Structure 1
Amino acid sequence: MWIDMTAAGLTDGFTPANTVPLRVRTSGARLEQHMQGWQHAWLQSSQGRWWAVVSVRVTSANEQSHASIPLTVAAGSIRPAELVTTKDES
């Protein structure tokens, strides 16, 4: 599952590196526009809109820590990962 983190509200564009303290750049959570995650459920609101209940594994920039973050995102902000298939050797 691929999750559009911009649509989820977790990335908001580029921040120049010189405006972020070095401590944050080296140990802060690395969030990218599209991240791989896992879908756990669908949720339909009383207005009829569909939401996906997902989780994303986030790693720090220095790869010393990680966390699995649960999110509820609009259905349009997710897409299935491409399946990898092997060629039949018939």
Structure 2
Amino acid sequence: MAQLCIKTKDEFRLFMELNRRYSEISIDTDNGIDDESKIKAFNIDDVKIIVDDENIMSIIGETVVKVSKEEFLKRPVKCIKALLRR
């Protein structure tokens, strides 16, 4: 069901990269699943990954890591490793 909320190429690519590494990914949406719903965050264990207009940020405890969407689309594996580094 999570895939129904994915609206952009960036969100899809991020979901696919995370799905390749983790079997359990939950998604926080702004409201129910419909045409207007937006993804607020992807959750993996204790990591929250937030996608905004220009950046992708991960929050692990009190540590925040930010990468640009442009950088993520160029080098997704490197960016995922940086976002998930503990």
TM-score when normalising by structure 2: 0.30
Higher relative contact order (CA 8 A, sep 6+): 1
TM-score when normalising by structure 1: 0.29
Q: Which protein is richer in strand relative to its size?
A: 1
Q: Which protein is richer in helix relative to its size?
A: 2
